[in-house]
Amino acid sequence: MSATRMFLDSSGSAPLTPRVTDALRAGFADGWADPNRLHAESRRARALVEGARAAVADVLGAQTEYVHFTPSVNIAFERVTAGICAARRGRDRAVVSAIERDALLDSAHHVTRGHVDLVSVDSLGHLDLAQFSSLTSDPATAVAAVQHANHEIGTVQRLADIHAITQERSVPLIVDATASIGHIEAPQDWDALVANPADWGGPAGLGVVAMRPQTRWLQAWPDGDPWAPGGISVPLALAAAVALQERVEQQQETATRLGGYVDEIRAAFDNLEEVAVVGDTNERLPHVLTAAFLYLDGEPLVTRLDREGIAVGSGSACGKETFEPSRVLEVMGALTHGNLRVGLHPGIAHEDVRRFIEVLPRVISDVKSDMGVFGS
């Protein structure tokens, strides 16, 4: 195994930078008290949370009082879906993109008791707008949910067109921005938005919900706090905000640099036989790439690369099992088992990418030999 490891699986989580770990320590030192009490220690903790909310709201283009932290991204999806549906009495259907995250799909199925209409996508991962328009025109539709960008293939949806349709139908649009915030400009076309701090280099264990002031919702659960039952971790909130500020300060430079690296990796895949890169080549996240391999399985590819000191992803990025076949690729009509996913974080250097490209053909050859695949 190589002495220096490379983490190329930063789609959903990324290493914490020194600035973020310093913020985490500061949060534990100064934010240990309960923010809901009245003494000085609690006021200090509450100020840290409010400052973090304001920083995140600024990036999202939202009002601070309508930005909420939750104990996880899954709870964020659950609460925003349930709250909006509760306010839409008499309507019991949800329209959701077929390549949406499992967490949102599960929430939509639970809240609507299975009344979920899935919208198909084309071979690049773009939503079928005609089908979306037809489904949202159903008077029983309570809510629609669409990703800003996909966490596996990187395709960015055309939210302006999508939001225009939901506005015409008076259907609230939840935008899943868990894969895009901190990587590209935050979307502006939404009625509610969910984000994932771990994806932009913050700590895990926190979710973000943003609501537009005009978006109606009702509390659909028994807890006192509508978004964070039992409260949220002050250190995590502070570190998440610092991580987002750090990403945004370097966003354009990082997007250009990582986008160039992804182009090099794509070119390397294009030079290999029986490999297809999936997703839009233009309207995409700058740091994510998935390739599908004919005749190969993803698990041995990941295992072999791991032995070389290179961490990559495969299968479903949000599957319930480590190597569950990718539902996203299945919906798109691509190969589902033999896929390899690369997600680059800002700490990746050009020499890391060159090393990955150099090692890849040998690893593929070894996997083919192990699987008894010969001839190409």
* pLDDT per residue as tens digits for the range 81-104: 999 999 999 999 999 999 999 999
- Is 280 within 8 Å of 290 (Cβ atoms)? no
What mean pLDDT comes out for the span 8-17? 94
Report the SS3 class of residue 174. Answer: strand
Q: What is the rounded distance in angstroms from the CA atom of residue 40 to the CA atom of residue 267?
A: 58
- CA nearest 132: which of 104, 159, 162? 162
Indicate the pLDDT class of residue 220, thresholds 50, 70 and 90: confident
Predicted local confidence at residue 41, as pLDDT:
86
The CATH number given to 6-15+251-371 is 3.90.1150.10
What's the distance, CA 278 to chain centroid?
Answer: 17
Let me know: does 154 contact 284? Beta carbons within 8 Å: yes
Model pLDDT, residue 76: 96
The pLDDT of residue 324 is 65
**pLDDT tier for residue 376 given thresholds of 50, 70 and 90:** very low
Whether the pLDDT of residue 319 is over 60: the answer is no
Q: Which helix (H) or strand (E) holds 275?
A: strand 275-278
Half-sphere exposure of 92 (CA within 13 A, CB side): 6
Does residue 239 sit in helix, strand or coil?
A: helix
Q: How far apart are CA 69 and CA 208, in angstroms?
A: 5
pLDDT, the chain, mean: 92
Least reliable range by pLDDT among 71-80, 242-251, 297-306, 316-325: 316-325
pLDDT tens column, 144-161: 999 999 999 999 999 999
Is residue 141 within 8 Å of residue 114, measured between CB atoms?
no
Percentage of residues in the chain having pLDDT higher than 70? 94
Higher pLDDT, 291 or 326: 291
User: Taking 50 as the threshold, does the pLDDT of residue 341 lie above it?
Assistant: yes
Place of tokens 């949910």: 145
Instruction: Tell me if residue 179 falls in helix, strand or coil.
Output: coil
Provide the token pair at 24: 């985490």
pLDDT greater than 70 at residue 231: yes
- Residue 366 amino acid letter: D
What number is the average pLDDT over the span 7-35? Answer: 93
CA dist list (Å): 250 to 89, 96, 183, 196, 303:
44, 33, 10, 18, 33
Per the listing, tokens 């250009």 go with: 256
Question: What class has domain 18-248?
Answer: alpha beta
Using a 10 angstrom Cβ sphere, with 0-12 exposed, 13-18 middle and 19 or more buried, the burial of residue 362 is exposed
Q: What is the spatial distance between Cα 291 and Cα 143, in angstroms, rounded to a whole number?
A: 33
The predicted pLDDT at position 47 comes to 93
- Is the confidence at residue 2, as pLDDT, over 70? no
105-138 residue pLDDT tens: 999 999 999 999 999 999 999 999 999 999 999 9
Give Rg (Cα) of the chain. Answer: 21
- CA 153 to CA 156: how far, in whole Å? 9
CA distance linking residue 33 with residue 52, whole number of Å: 16
Angle at 180 between CA 333 and CA 132, to 5 degrees: 50
Handedness of CA 29, 33, 35, 41 (dihedral sign): negative
Q: What is the pLDDT of residues 126-135, one digit of tens each?
A: 999 999 999 9
Confidence of residue 327 (pLDDT cuts 50, 70, 90): confident
pLDDT confidence of 315, banded at 50, 70, 90? low
CA–CA dist 105, 329 (Å, integer) = 16
Q: Which residue has the higher pLDDT, 195 or 11?
A: 195
Residues 139, 135: Cα–Cα separation, whole Å: 9
pLDDT for the residue numbered 1: 44
H helices present in 127-230, as ranges = 129-136, 159-169
17, two tokens: 């930078």
Q: Using CA of residue 268, residue 271, residue 276, residue 280, what is the dihedral sign?
A: positive
Q: What is the mean pLDDT of residues 248-257?
A: 97
Per-residue confidence (pLDDT) for residue 148, from 0 to 100: 98
> How confident is the model at residue 126, as a pLDDT?
97
Q: Please report, for the chain, the start and end positions of each structural domain, with discontinuous segments joined by +.
A: 6-15+251-371, 18-248
Q: Report angle CA 342, 281, 259 to the nearest 5 degrees.
A: 55
Between CA 56 and CA 8 the distance in angstroms is 26
The residue among 368 and 171 whose pLDDT is bigger is: 171
d(CA 162, CA 357): 37
CA distance 211 to 244: 19
Q: Choose among 52, 33, 51, 53: nearest CA to 43.
A: 33
